[in-house]
């Protein structure tokens, strides 16, 4: 079923009007009066609607049912990724959204080659959020993950540590596996923190331990910085019964 995202305030009344890009998309899809569509508020709520009419470049809808989105994961997974080079973060945002991530958070680490300044970050954040929105629509999500940036590694650790399971992945860790970490206790929220291309420094790993994160291995093979968070996210979703 065709899915549209709108601002939550637009779902307050008995009816709904699609305008702008949503109206153009509806026209391209050649939606006809009587057809049903889903309209989502991007925060986990959705409305089943029926197309009523086209008027002045807008699409009039009748709201048939309000409900919680059934496609959202029961576990809230936050993906914390150190700034990578090139467009690798865009790939992770798209795929993490499809896999069900609650949010994607970028942060600076000691070995990051990419260090976008405040001016470029504003434009990048707008683009990253659009990528998340597009991926959420394509994959049938009821919620658009928020894409955020934190100013420091310490801030990333402090925020990641708030989850029930706060996990960091380090190639030199061999004792604790992701499976062991997940099976040790129940969880409703998980944070997954991974480093940049050059990996995390030993002092950063110790800093994470001191902040309350559990350091894990993702196996005997070295994963690329854009592979590791998606591998971990997939494993968490499987463990949570989402697959």
Alpha carbon distance 11, 46 (integer Å): 9
- pLDDT value at residue 11: 81
pLDDT in tens, the chain (243 residues): 888 999 888 887 777 899 998 999 888 888 889 999 999 888 888 999 899 988 888 999 999 999 998 889 999 999 999 999 999 999 999 999 999 999 999 999 999 998 888 889 999 999 999 999 999 999 999 999 999 999 999 999 999 999 999 999 999 999 999 999 999 999 999 999 999 999 999 999 999 999 999 999 999 999 999 999 999 999 999 999 999
Question: 190: buried, middle or exposed (CB in 10 Å: 19+, 13-18, 0-12)?
Answer: buried
pLDDT of residue 1: 81
45/69 Cα distance (integer angstroms): 5
* Reduced DSSP (H G I as helix, E B as strand, rest coil) percent helix, strand, coil of the chain, to 5: 35, 30, 35
pTM of the model: 0.89
Fold of 3-68: Ribosomal Protein L25; Chain P (2.40.240)
How confident is the model at residue 88, as a pLDDT?
A: 96
pLDDT value of residue 154 = 98
Burial class (CB in 10 A: 0-12, 13-18, 19+), 92: buried
CATH 3.40.1280.10 fits 76-239, yes or no: yes
Instruction: Please work out, in degrees rounded to the nearest 5, the angle formed at the alpha carbon of residue 118 by the alpha carbons of 224 and 130.
Output: 65
pLDDT computed for residue 204 by the predictor: 98
Residue 224 buriedness (CB in 10 A; 0-12 / 13-18 / 19+): exposed
Cα–Cα distance, 231 to 225 (Å, whole number)? 10
Domain spans in the chain, listed from the N-terminal domain onward: 3-68, 76-239
């Amino acid at each position: 079923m065709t899915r549209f995202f709108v601002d939550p305030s637009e779902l307050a009344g008995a009816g709904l009007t699609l305008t702008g890009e949503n109206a153009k998309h509806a026209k391209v899809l050649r939606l006809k009066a009587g057809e049903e569509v889903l309209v989502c508020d991007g925060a986990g709520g959705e409305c089943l609607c029926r197309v009523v009419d086209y008027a002045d470049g807008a699409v009039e809808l009748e709201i048939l049912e309000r409900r919680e989105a059934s496609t959202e994961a029961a576990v809230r997974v936050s993906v914390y990724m150190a700034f990578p080079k090139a467009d690798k973060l865009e790939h992770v945002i798209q795929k993490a959204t499809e896999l069900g991530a609650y949010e994607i958070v970028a942060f600076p680490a000691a070995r990051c080659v990419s260090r976008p300044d405040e001016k470029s970050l504003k434009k990048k954040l707008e683009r990253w959020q659009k990528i998340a929105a597009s991926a959420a629509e394509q994959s049938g999500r009821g919620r658009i993950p928020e894409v955020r940036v934190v100013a420091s590694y310490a801030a990333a650790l402090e925020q990641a540590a708030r989850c029930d399971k706060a996990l960091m992945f380090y190639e030199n860790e061999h004792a604790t596996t992701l499976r062991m970490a997940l099976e040790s206790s129940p969880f409703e929220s998980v944070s997954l923190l991974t480093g940049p291309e050059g990996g995390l420094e030993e002092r950063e790993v110790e800093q994470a331990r001191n902040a309350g994160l559990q350091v894990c291995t993702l196996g005997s093979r070295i994963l690329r910085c854009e592979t590791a968070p998606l591998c971990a996210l997939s494993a968490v979703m499987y463990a949570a019964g989402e697959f």
